Amino acid sequence: MYFLTDKIEFPHVSEASADGLLAIGGDLSSKRLLHAYKNGIFPWFEIDEPVLWWSPDPRFVIYPSELKVSKSMKQLFKKRQFKVTMNQAFEDVISNCAAKVREGQDGTWITNTMIEAYTKLHKLGYATSVEVWQGKDLVGGLYGVDIGNKVFCGESMFAKKSNASKYGFIHFIQSSEYNIVDCQLHTKHLESLGGKHISRQEFLKFL
User: Mind listing the pLDDT tens digit for each residue in 40-73?
Assistant: 999 999 888 899 999 999 999 999 999 999 999 9
Q: Which residue, among 99, 85, 52, 62, has the nearest Cα to 181 in the 3D structure? A: 62
Q: Which residue, among 175, 176, 189, 167, has the nearest Cα to 82 in the 3D structure? A: 167
Letter string b/e over residues 15-53, b meaning 16 or more CB atoms within 10 A of that residue's CB: ebeeebbbbeebebeeebbbebbebbbbbbbeeeeebbb
CA–CA separation, 9 and 50 (whole Å)? 17
Residue 199 reports pLDDT greater than 90? yes
Listed by start position, the domains of the chain span 2-56, 60-206
DSSP 99: H
Please give the full DSSP string across 139-190, using - where no structure is assigned: EEEEEEEE-SSSEEEEEEEEESSTTHHHHHHHHHHHTS--SEEEEES--HHH
Q: Does the structural domain 60-206 have CATH classification 3.30.1360.70?
A: no
Q: Which residue, among 183, 178, 179, 207, has the nearest Cα to 197 in the 3D structure? A: 183
Cross-strand pairs, 52: 24
Whole-model pTM: value is 0.93
Q: Using 50, 70 and 90 to split pLDDT, how confident is the model at 103?
A: low
Give the architecture (CATH level 2) of 2-56: 2-Layer Sandwich (3.30)
Cross-strand pairs, 43: 53
Predicted pLDDT of residue 104: 46
Residue 149, SS3 per DSSP: coil
